[in-house]
Amino acid sequence: MAASSFLEVSPAGEAPYNTINAALDALSEVAPDETQPATIHLNPGTYHERVEIKRPNLTLEGEVADQVTITMSYGANDQMPDGSKRGTFRTFTVFVDADNVTLRNLTIENEAGPGKIAGQALALYADGDRLVVENCQLMGHQDTLFCGPLPPKEVKPGGFIGPKEFAARIVGRQYYRRCLIEGDVDVIFGGACAYFDGCEIRSLSRHEPVNGYVTAPSAPEGEPYGFVFHGCSFTGEGVEPKTVYLARPWRDWGQTVLINCWIGPHIRDDGWCDWNKPHARECCLFAGYDLNGPGSDTSSWASFAKVLTPEQASHYTRQQVLAGNDGWDPLGGAEEATETESLSDNGRTLHIGQFYEDEASMHKRFAEQARQDAFTGTTKQEFEDWQQAARTKLADLLGTRKLTKAALQVKKLSHTELSGGIVRTKVLLQVEQDVWMPTYLLQPKHPRTAPDGKMECFICPNGHQGAGAASVAGIMGVPAVDSAIRIFNYDYGLRLARMGYFVVCPEARGWGERRDCRGQGDDEREFLQGTCLNQARMAEPLGLSVLGLLSWDLMRLVDYLLSRGDISEQTLGCFGFSGGGMQTLYFTALDERIKKVFISGYFYGVKDSLLHLNGNCSCNYVPNLWRSFDVGDIAGLIVPRPLMVQSCREDHLNGPRGLKNVEEQLDIVRSLYKLEGAEANVSWEICPGEHHLGIAHLADDVAWLDDRAKQSR
């Protein structure tokens, strides 16, 4: 196409034209021959303008439909300067009044609002012959798309006021392909010969017994075709079941025919409305063939509607419907194949009955390659030698040995007194150069002390779905945090502080105040969830892992705590639930300075859980880790220190075999504790219910840890 017939528009000023109308005005000068094709290309952006296309052989195309929006907000109830109402046909956002026009990759909307307020409000007024509308979104409420021409006569005086009020009524052919057309009442109406191919027609709710009518056809008497829908999906958004009609006749000879379409549950059982027009019942053609979906049962259709025979349906191909006198076919070739018969119950996705997954192959590979570095010896000395080598191997897999210590720097941010004599201090700790970790310190008024006279301390890393450290520290007055606490008992840091321990609640990377830029909004979902996936995508190509970074941060936290001089290393513990349990497992496997360990909601075999369920956060996954170790092997690096494992009986994360999957890993650990003569230092508590921190025996569990740590000193 010659450069002079290709005009580019950008509302941001990045193209020769800033508005569509400026480009349309320029056509007469830069491409004056209207018999030759011309294209106006719209760059991404929102175009607040009314567009009238009267130039034939024109393509108006956007860069991509979802990013190019033409919008206005005119409604039929608008008051005009002369005191009259605007009326339906002066409300359009885009008006096409020319032949051989193509609209492609556009969102065209009328934002006037529901018909109760705005009245009718056209997004697209389409007239002319051989119109193609492809990959477009037409958005409105009442009368979203008018497929001209107008009927010969108006019912009420002034009803047709608009650009074609006095024009000849010429039936044009229109082809809509892969479009979304949305509205409630008479979403698509008019007298054109219009073929809708693979479109989604989405009904909106008015919260009324009758929520709307999809079409209101007005084909003139004697026309062979009106509206034909082939391979289309009739869906609803928030629409009550059985409250929408497929059509009502705007004029008595209106035609709406559905071929190979999917019909949603919002469509009424009787399907079609006669609009209280007895003559229309005899003259209109409302019909369907080979329909699918929950609303496709034709047995209760209105008596004037028809179910076509295969022979009758064969006359409604694209080639026949649009041929006219010149044989026009916008695509050429065979009828477009559609998959509406295979749609799922939501009408928007394919129902796939046969999947070709590779999990069995992964399980086989796991069986052949897993646990290559597990302990295979028989003596205590062999085990202790293995621990040293395995700890180094684990550090290499996690990438912690690639990290460099920065000078310990601590910045105090806030100091708050809580009920019960607990003081909550918030600090920033530098864990790498210019990488800072917000941390809550909870100090009881009368903290427990170890034999060395220093405070007994628990590190409490946070888990998932709990707003990071804020939940663990029990921050008050934040409903989303309160909700997480009620669901999971996430305030375990505060609970331990109330037992007299000095508690440290660090913010894990990707959570709370350490969320990556992709998740830093205030939306509750963003607030409660992390950006571990984003962290993993950055870390793993650099030879690191999220788990390694989390473990590193906790090891630097220990460096800080022991540098204070008031925290006892003799009794230093780590306590974590869910993702906090994951951090606790790996961190304490690497750092022998932790003397007692509590892991809740995270102790299960890889094959049944992380491999099979494969729904855990990306921070659980480390390249090549499973080839070396399973969870029980990693926990073997905690031996002989006291270890309390807590599992919920119905926790879905345990995998399909449930607690059996947990017990198999515990058996690995128990055998290693036995080898060390420390069988009494491992305990397993089973709690009722789904995934949560069990609190019924929490005080006893912590006391058991303290006692076993004391016995082990």
Q: Topology of 404-712 in CATH?
A: Rossmann fold (3.40.50)
Task: Calculate the dihedral angle through the C-alpha atoms of 187, 188, 190, 195, rounding to the nearest 10 degrees.
Answer: -170
Q: Kindly report whether the peptide bond that precedes residue 656 is cis, defined as omega within 30 degrees of 0.
A: no
Q: Which CATH number fits domain 207-356: 1.10.510.10, 3.40.980.10, 3.40.50.300, 2.160.20.10?
A: 2.160.20.10
For 31, the token pair is 């491409």
- Residue 175 near residue 322, CB atoms below 8 Å: yes
Q: DSSP string spanning 573-613?
A: EEEEETHHHHHHHHHHHH-TT--EEEEES----TIIIIITT
- Residue 530 near residue 508, CB atoms below 8 Å: yes
Rounded Cα–Cα distance for residues 618 and 610 (Å): 10
Rounded Cα–Cα distance for residues 385 and 375 (Å): 10
How far out from the chain centre does Cα 216 lie? 35
Angle at 246 (CA atoms; ends 245, 251), nearest 5 degrees: 95
pLDDT at 593: 98
pLDDT at 611: 86
Residue 422's SS3 state is coil
Rounded Cα–Cα distance for residues 378 and 121 (Å): 82
Residue 160: how many other CB atoms lie within 10 Å: 18
How far out from the chain centre does Cα 468 lie? 21
For 10, the token pair is 């950008």
Helix (H) or strand (E) holding 134: strand 131-134
Which phi and psi angles does 329 have, rounded to 5°? -140, 110
Residue 547's SS3 state is helix
Map tokens 């609009």 to a residue. Answer: 275
pLDDT at 481: 86
For 677, the token pair is 């003569």
pLDDT at 334: 87
Task: Provide CB contacts within 8 A for 168, sequence distance 6+.
Answer: 149
How far out from the chain centre does Cα 17 lie? 36
pLDDT at 518: 82
- Residue 184 near residue 217, CB atoms below 8 Å: no
Residue 86's SS3 state is coil
- Residue 390 near residue 376, CB atoms below 8 Å: no
Residue 691's SS3 state is coil
For 651, the token pair is 């926790």
pLDDT at 530: 84
CA-CA-CA-CA torsion sign (690, 695, 697, 702): positive
Range list for CATH 2.160.20.10 in the chain:
207-356
Rounded Cα–Cα distance for residues 597 and 586 (Å): 11
For 503, the token pair is 């508690």
How far out from the chain centre does Cα 390 lie? 40
Rounded Cα–Cα distance for residues 210 and 242 (Å): 8
Task: Provide CB contacts within 8 A for 651, sequence distance 6+.
Answer: 601, 658, 690, 691
HSE on the CB side for 320, CA within 13 Å?
A: 10
- State the 10-residue block means of pLDDT for the chain, 713 residues long: 79 96 97 96 97 98 96 97 95 98 98 97 98 98 98 88 94 98 98 97 97 98 98 96 98 98 98 96 97 97 98 97 97 88 90 88 93 97 98 97 95 95 97 97 98 98 89 90 90 97 97 88 82 89 96 98 98 97 98 98 91 80 95 98 97 94 97 97 96 95 97 86
Q: Which has the closest alpha carbon to 212: 245, 251, 258?
A: 245
Rounded Cα–Cα distance for residues 252 and 20 (Å): 38
Determine how β-strand 435-443 pairs with β-strand 423-432.
antiparallel
**Rounded to whole angstroms, what are the CA distances from 699 to 167, 501, 668?**
86, 12, 27
pLDDT at 2: 53
> What predicted TM-score, i.e. pTM, was given to this entire model?
0.78
Range list for CATH 3.40.50.1820 in the chain:
404-712
- Residue 439 near residue 421, CB atoms below 8 Å: no
- Residue 287 near residue 317, CB atoms below 8 Å: no
For 615, the token pair is 């729904």
Angle at 247 (CA atoms; ends 242, 250), nearest 5 degrees: 140
Determine how β-strand 502-506 pairs with β-strand 435-443.
antiparallel
Angle at 698 (CA atoms; ends 696, 701), nearest 5 degrees: 125
Residue 51's SS3 state is strand
How far out from the chain centre does Cα 113 lie? 27
pLDDT at 3: 52
Task: Provide CB contacts within 8 A for 235, sequence distance 6+.
Answer: 200, 201, 202, 203, 264, 266, 346, 347, 348
